[in-house]
Structure 1
Amino acid sequence: MKTDRRTFVKQLGAVTASTAVPHFNIIKSLNDNKIRIATIGMGIQGFSDTNAALRTGMCELVAVADLYDGRLTHAKEVFGNHVVTTRDYREVLERKDVDAVLIVTPDHWHDRISIAALKKGKHVYCEKPMVQHIEEGAAVIAAAKAAGKVMQVGSQRISGAAFKEAKRLVEAGDIGMINFIESTNDRFNAIGAWQYSIPSDASLKTIDWETFLGDAPKRAFDPVRFFRWRNYRDYGTGVAGDLFIHLITGVHFVTGSLGPNRIFSSGQLSYWKDGRDVPDVMVATMEYPAMGKLDSFQMVLRVNFANAGSIKNVTRIVGNEGEITFGGNSLTLTKRKLATAPGYGNGESFGTFSNAQQQEYLAAYDAKYPTETRTPEPVKEVLFDAPKEDDAHKNHFANFFEGILNNTPVVEDPLFGFRAAAPVLACNKSYFEKKVVNWDPKNLKLT
């Protein structure tokens, strides 16, 4: 993604210019020139991110921070006793042997730890969404620019081969001008609906509850909130921040769009009535304005945690000459140019014409518009399957590490990350405030 060098201007909840590609300090590890990383937040995604980073062969794990002792113990069991463990992420940021941090905490800690890490001279990989609230985005972007360090946001699917192929096809004009996009990301089991297990030893002795709360409202210790934090607005961002973010990130990557200008969402709590205060069914409609080579288009997103039917989590990008359908590691390109002239099938008013009148009409039309056709082209399908060795998660980290070592742009920098995060946070705003949210995708501010 290209960025320019205009002056960054911070307003309340707004950014009015792009960031410049910073001058990165090239890091050399003490061990075979590998980048030395530390993971802050060692839950399910923390372990997944750490393993993906290590699969690149470009890094080594130095330290781990987490607020639950059981995860620290498990980290040593998995990655070795040499890994330093601590409850206090600030101890990690003070370490001279840590070049980059992976921030895999609850959403309400993303902005604070990212900014602190950047100020300490660390490169940052921050899980999606980059921030919990729209007004936090400007400060993170400014901190990354001021620090001159690499920051990658972790919506790793866009580094998979299917997304890259979709981007190539769109840029090549294979489906014509985009007019509609729809995408789903449903779930059908308890774990997928954030009903994570709660360790039997969870207590105030094994968990730093006060630090977990951070700037969220104070309340008595509750292990359910600690281990199932995505269910609560105080710490997470609901289905929009967990799943819509992947869909929007992918669409922005494939199309090159900067984002929608109108967002409306609706939904309900249908099944998981377990004390959570976020919906388990949400549908969002977004209007994307014409921009650059793109015409305006509509996008509809859906998440259903109560889906007991068939699960078909795919994204469809529809144009006037075909569509791209992709999900996971496969993609299908369906090409069919629409007819440009009236008069095929039962169209127009031929039911009131005699056969002679109809033929006379069509002949005159063909003479006047010789380049138009009354019949659509036959459907053509092209299938694409990603190579078996394709590893989007590993690729995303490799891109991050290459940015550190080679001073090259990353695929999901803070500006890109915020342009994806803001619309999903606007979905929550629309849902809870029951209104349409207007957004300026170029200047990054609510309007």
Structure 2
Amino acid sequence: MKQQRRNFLKKLGATGAVAALSPLAFSQESTAKQFLEREGLISSQNESAIRLALIGAGIMGIEDTNTALKHSNVELVAVCDLYKGRLDAAKQRWGNHLFVTQDHHELLKRSDVDAVIIATSDHWHKQISIDAMNAGKHVYCEKPMVHSVKEGMDVINAWKKSGKVMVVGSQGVSSLGNEKAKELLASGAIGDLVYAEGFWARMSPEGAWQYAIPKDGNEQTVDWKRYTSNTKSRDWDPLRFFRWRNYLDYGTGMSGDLFVHLFSSLHFITNSYGPNKISAMGGLRYWKDGREVPDVLLGTFDYPETKEHSGFNLSLRCNFVDGTSGTTYLRIVGTKGSMDVKWEEVVVKMNQTVTSDDPFLQEQARLRGEPETRATILPPKELVYTAQRNWKGAHYDHFGNWFTAIRTGGTVAEDPVFGFRAAAPALLCNDSYFQNKLIQWDPINMKLI
């Protein structure tokens, strides 16, 4: 680990090293602030147009598309959704010129589609991603990349064969906060990594997936047969279509929706391939609305020592019964300090020691044969890195990275291999919970043990 840091600092150069290690050089104030900026993001202003299609025009599909369209020379040409109401809304939102369909195969046949955004329910991510790449389209697929670990290698193999650019939509890997945390950890700013924890909390009905059901949502406006064609056949149920995250046939619960973001950020910051032991506990405490997944979930994960990082443990928590108005963070703890990491901010906390003037402590030190003066730990000083107000956000930059890779033949931070290694422990967290057992995973070869 020390050799890796020495190599990093050499590459970084003297000036960069000082900046990276700046948490060690606090002022006399308890808290100091620095601003995060990004330089060198390639502009698409003079580049050829990228023609997009959206598959899955729900809440996240709309957010993804609106964000993508903020980039220059990107246009939306087609939309697919199994609910006709969303197709009508898409034309109102983005224009009557759109080709709309309930069949994604029809959309993928079109020569005027260069790339697709896949924002469907989780159980369709694998097949539509493969279909799109086989049709010669670049892919932006919402997280988690797959619905179960057995699907991961199918997507990876299709991606490698296609030569197309596929990115998975955990936007945090394109955030200023994560990039700074990665730099700080590699520089040794908080010492050796020993522990990490993440927390995600919500309370509102929408945050807990009690989405509104359209009045016209019925078998005449929804292609229910197609929706369930790759899973168990059931009679029409509007809850299973419009609130799909609550049901295991279509969604992946709290871990697939939210833990996967924390895994993505952690793996990006640490260069980790993932944990080798996974366990979970939780329960359905409040949202007893017929859902099949818990509303409180706790996961614990063991990360073995590798050449990329020291061994450490991870604890993740998710709570949909949160009376504190909601909290989200990732905390990374080292032997010298810690970092609280958000997409737009990193707070570095470093312990400081001073000589104690407590007579009792001094006497105890003397009896133990220690020096007469004994150091004590004071509350940590903090250095806050925060994004400039004009930063357009991780979501914007995540799409920008994808568009740049499409135009230049480059790579993205979250390709399908990275995406699967982030999805797998989240999905296995569910398996541990429902099977009530510890699960062992090979993060290098991406397979169950």
Range class of TM-score, shorter chain: 0.7 to 0.9
Matches within 5 A, 1:289-368: 289-336=304-351, 351=364, 355=366, 358=368, 361-362=369-370
Q: Which residue of 1 aligns with 2:289?
A: 274
| Residue of 380, 402, 405 corresponding to 1:403 | 405
Distance 1:197 1:117 in 2: 30
Q: Which residue of 2 aligns with 1:189?
A: 204
Task: Report the CA distance between 1:376 and its aligned residue.
Answer: 4.8
Task: Report the CA distance between 1:309 and its aligned residue.
Answer: 3.0
Is residue 2:107 matched to residue 1:92? yes
Q: Which residue of 1 aligns with 2:448?
A: 446
SS at match of 1:51: helix
Q: Which residue of 1 aligns with 2:427?
A: 425
State which drifts further: 326-335 or 389-398.
Answer: 326-335
Q: Which residue of 2 aligns with 1:62?
A: 77
Task: Report the CA distance between 1:337 and its aligned residue.
Answer: 6.3
Distance 1:119 1:246 in 2: 27
- Do the aligned partners of residues 363 and 443 (structure 1) sit closer, same or farther apart at CA in structure 2, a change above 3 Å counting? same
State which drifts further: 107-116 or 163-172.
Answer: 163-172
Task: Report the CA distance between 1:362 and its aligned residue.
Answer: 2.6
Task: Report the CA distance between 1:327 and its aligned residue.
Answer: 2.7
- Do the aligned partners of residues 276 and 378 (structure 1) sit closer, same or farther apart at CA in structure 2, a change above 3 Å counting? closer
Contact 1:320 1:337 in 2 (8 A): no
Q: Which residue of 2 aligns with 1:73?
A: 88
Give the gaps of 5 or more residues in structure 1: 1-28, 367-372
TM-score normalized by the length of structure 1: 0.86
Task: Report the CA distance between 1:338 and its aligned residue.
Answer: 7.9
Contact 1:130 1:418 in 2 (8 A): yes
Q: Could you list the per-position Cα deviations for residues 345-373 of structure 1 after superposition, in whole angstroms to 9, with x for gaps in the alignment? A: 9889x74x8x4x55xx3359x9xxxxxx9
Task: Report the CA distance between 1:32 and its aligned residue.
Answer: 6.7
Distance 1:396 1:338 in 2: 41
Instruction: Give the root-mean-square deviation of aligned CA atoms.
Output: 2.5
Q: Which residue of 1 aligns with 2:121?
A: 106
Could you tell me which amino acid in structure 2 is paired with residue 362 of structure 1? E
Contact 1:321 1:338 in 2 (8 A): no
Could you tell me which amino acid in structure 1 is paired with residue 116 of structure 2? V
Q: Which residue of 2 aligns with 1:5?
A: none
| Residue of 241, 257, 267 corresponding to 2:256 | 241
Task: Report the CA distance between 1:310 and its aligned residue.
Answer: 4.9
- Do the aligned partners of residues 347 and 120 (structure 1) sit closer, same or farther apart at CA in structure 2, a change above 3 Å counting? farther
Q: Which residue of 2 aligns with 1:166?
A: 181
Task: Report the CA distance between 1:328 and its aligned residue.
Answer: 4.8
Task: Report the CA distance between 1:167 and its aligned residue.
Answer: 1.3
Contact 1:321 1:337 in 2 (8 A): no
| Residue of 213, 221, 224 corresponding to 2:239 | 224
| Residue of 123, 126, 132 corresponding to 2:141 | 126
TM-score normalized by the length of structure 2: 0.85
Contact 2:130 2:158 in 1 (8 A): yes
Task: Report the CA distance between 1:213 and its aligned residue.
Answer: 0.8
Q: Which residue of 2 aligns with 1:18?
A: none
SS at match of 2:397: helix
Distance 2:359 2:265 in 1: 37
- Do the aligned partners of residues 346 and 80 (structure 1) sit closer, same or farther apart at CA in structure 2, a change above 3 Å counting? farther
Could you tell me which amino acid in structure 1 is paired with residue 412 of structure 2? V
Task: Report the CA distance between 1:336 and its aligned residue.
Answer: 2.1
Distance 1:441 1:326 in 2: 24
Distance 2:215 2:197 in 1: 42
